[in-house]
Amino acid sequence: MSRPRDFLGWLENRSDSLSPIVVKEVRQLVRAREFMYSFGASLVAGLMVASFGAGDALTGKGTSGSWTFAALMGCLAFLGLAVVPLGAFSALRNERMEQTLELITLTALSPRRVVIGKLLTQGVKLATLFAAMAPFIAMSFVLGGIDFVTILVSILVLFLWSVWACALCLCLSTLFKARAMSVLVFGAGGVVLFVILSMAGNLFMLARRGGVSGPVVFGAATGSGSWMTLAIATSFCLASMANLVFLAENRLSLPSENRVTPLRTGFLVQFLLIAAWTLTSINGPAADRSGAVTALGIFGGLHLGMVAIFTVTEDLVVSRRAFLHMKSTSRWRWLLAMFRPGGGRGAVYVLAQMAVLLFAAWMLGADRFKVRWLVAVCGYVCFFTGAPVFFFRLLRPARAASLQLRVAVMALVLASVLLPDILYYLLWRPDVFDLKYSARHLLNPFRTLANWPLVETRAWFSVPVALGLTGLLAYLGVIFTGMGMAGQPATIDPDGSGATAGEPGSAHVLY
């Protein structure tokens, strides 16, 4: 047998260790017109930029490597943050439209393996496009004005965020079945990408200058600030990318599966990362520690709020399949309880993270003012996610499906933001409509927490305390209601209107 055939046979055998999705998609990729066009276009763009850079260098007016590299990065950013993610969006969506995703579901490939396979394919696509640009980027280094570390770090950062953008698009493509909604979601995704593009530009400039205040390039940066920023951004990127994969997996899984545990684990890691990064200031000066507590309250609070909307509103009854899987005999099962679905465990999960938040603040030596602010953050999260859920479950238990509960939470948040000003205008008819923060805005969590010093000086504590306590009691109510339902799986409902054997609440077809 000839050597090339031996080599191909060897490659074929090695491909067994790759994801089947990657093998299939790479085979399709090399024949796809779209990829040929983008590969060709990137080569042409790289060649043109490099030619201009070389021409500029020949004038002898200075080094042209810096702007050549910036222009090449612009081209790569367009490909990595717009073109390839667009492909990722349609990759999974087309599988759903053509119903081939159903055929994959029937195989041994789990939804997670499918999503990871799709993501890895985008990684291969990106690596190929980046490799096509590599000779031109090397040329920018030769032209001078830019150091090797800056080039390396910038490319790695751009690559990572490009993969992240692909993960985001994969996740978005799983959200809706209808074409119109998909287009709408992708439009919104486009805006997000635009923001990310701006962020990438800023990051590049940051890297170029060696941090916000640093005067030198990345590689020669004397301060650790830029590296710290990079480490934070990278860890956030990796953690949120994993969560995007889990979210897409969640959307592709059958409702009867346990779709909660990976997401809970992923989002806890993300929250612990937020806490860990703020704790790096633990030995710093008081101002740094105070800033860290503020960052913890803002990012941690936003994270908790978002997570609580989805976890506290989840169905209390679990499917029979999930219930059977949860019957673990491990002596650590009580520790794992909050990562499992149903039974009000979502509320326990949020409360546990709130405890971590307050503990991290205590470690940072937060003063009483900051502690009260953090408690208020937790109190508002509890109230706005706990109260509507508990009362809905109490008053309309038959209609308390996750979707309805989430709508109720969002409606309450919206009402608390808009109603105080609307009612004030309608009831008091003021001559001058004053929108400055005042006592009537205490219901608005965003404005109250942003104006906390004013709440402290005027001692407007009664409303936040009342809301927080109501929220905490509602959380406890949800937990106790859930505990009562946690002992058995969803039962057969003869009318089919409520909980079912296959899935809790209303049933959905998979795709």
- Distance, in Å, from the CA atom of 494 to the CA atom of 497, rounded to the nearest integer, reads 8
Does 28 interact with other proteins (rule: CB under 8 A)? yes
Q: Tell me the per-residue interface mask from 454 to 493 with other proteins, x by CB under 8 A, - otherwise.
A: --------------------------------------xx
Does 100 interact with other proteins (rule: CB under 8 A)? yes
Task: Identify the residue among 105, 229, 294, 402 touching other proteins (CB under 8 A).
Answer: 105
**Could you tell me the two tokens for 332?**
């650590």
Considering the complex, state which of residue 27 and residue 333 has its C-beta at the smaller distance from other proteins.
27
Does 31 interact with other proteins (rule: CB under 8 A)? yes
Task: Identify the residue among 142, 439, 466, 510 touching other proteins (CB under 8 A).
Answer: 510
Residues in the interface with other proteins (CB under 8 A) total 38
Q: Tell me the per-residue interface mask from 78 to 97 with other proteins, x by CB under 8 A, - otherwise.
A: --------------------
3-state secondary structure 291-304: HHHHHHHHHHHHHH
Considering only 100-108, 180-188, 368-376, 454-462, which stretch makes contact with other proteins by CB under 8 A? 100-108
| Concatenated DSSP letters of 188-252 | HHHHHHHHHHHHHHHHHHHHHHTSSS--S-GGG--SSHHHHHHHHHHHHHHHHHHHHHHHHHHHH
In the complex, the smallest distance separating the C-beta of residue 102 from other proteins, rounded to whole angstroms, is: 6
Task: Identify the residue among 8, 24, 177, 415 touching other proteins (CB under 8 A).
Answer: 24
Considering only 120-128, 340-348, 378-386, 502-510, which stretch makes contact with other proteins by CB under 8 A? 502-510
The answer for residues whose C-beta is within 8 angstroms of residue 207's C-beta and 6 or more apart is 150, 153, 154, 157, 217, 218, 226, 230
Considering the complex, state which of residue 46 and residue 111 has its C-beta at the smaller distance from other proteins.
111
Contact 50, 69 (CB under 8 A): no
Contact 315, 504 (CB under 8 A): yes
Considering the complex, state which of residue 235 and residue 506 has its C-beta at the smaller distance from other proteins.
506
Considering the complex, state which of residue 315 and residue 358 has its C-beta at the smaller distance from other proteins.
315
**Could you tell me the two tokens for 167?**
């993960």
Task: Identify the residue among 1, 11, 16, 213 touching other proteins (CB under 8 A).
Answer: 16
Considering the complex, state which of residue 13 and residue 330 has its C-beta at the smaller distance from other proteins.
13
Burial 429-446 (b: 16+ CB within 10 A, else e): eeeeeeeeeeeebbbbbe
Does 496 interact with other proteins (rule: CB under 8 A)? yes
Does 102 interact with other proteins (rule: CB under 8 A)? yes
Nearest to 174 by CA among 125, 234, 127, 105: 105
Does 255 interact with other proteins (rule: CB under 8 A)? yes
Task: Identify the residue among 44, 48, 103, 411 touching other proteins (CB under 8 A).
Answer: 103
In the complex, the smallest distance separating the C-beta of residue 169 from other proteins, rounded to whole angstroms, is: 20
Considering only 27-35, 120-128, 357-365, 393-401, which stretch makes contact with other proteins by CB under 8 A? 27-35
- Tokens 């990729």 map to which residue? 29
Considering the complex, state which of residue 250 and residue 416 has its C-beta at the smaller distance from other proteins.
250
Q: How far is CA 317 from CA 249, 394, 406, 463, 505, in A?
A: 21, 15, 17, 34, 8
Contact 152, 111 (CB under 8 A): no
Does 8 interact with other proteins (rule: CB under 8 A)? no
Contact 381, 470 (CB under 8 A): no
Does 404 interact with other proteins (rule: CB under 8 A)? no
φ, ψ dihedrals at 65, nearest 5°: -60, -35
**Could you tell me the two tokens for 361?**
């603040």
Considering the complex, state which of residue 411 and residue 507 has its C-beta at the smaller distance from other proteins.
507
Task: Identify the residue among 54, 70, 97, 109 touching other proteins (CB under 8 A).
Answer: 109
Considering only 291-299, 375-383, 388-396, 503-511, which stretch makes contact with other proteins by CB under 8 A? 503-511
Considering only 28-36, 84-92, 229-237, 279-287, which stretch makes contact with other proteins by CB under 8 A? 28-36
3-state secondary structure 309-372: HHHCCCCCCCCHHHHHHHCCCCCCHHHHHHHCCCCCHHHHHHHHHHHHHHHHHHHCCCCHHHHH
Q: Tell me the per-residue interface mask from 315 to 354 with other proteins, x by CB under 8 A, - otherwise.
A: ----xxx--x------------------------------
- Distance, in Å, from the CA atom of 338 to the CA atom of 345, rounded to the nearest integer, reads 5
Q: Which residues bind other proteins (CB under 8 A)?
A: 13, 16, 20, 23-24, 27-28, 31-32, 98-100, 102-109, 254-256, 319-321, 324, 492-494, 496, 500-503, 507, 509-510
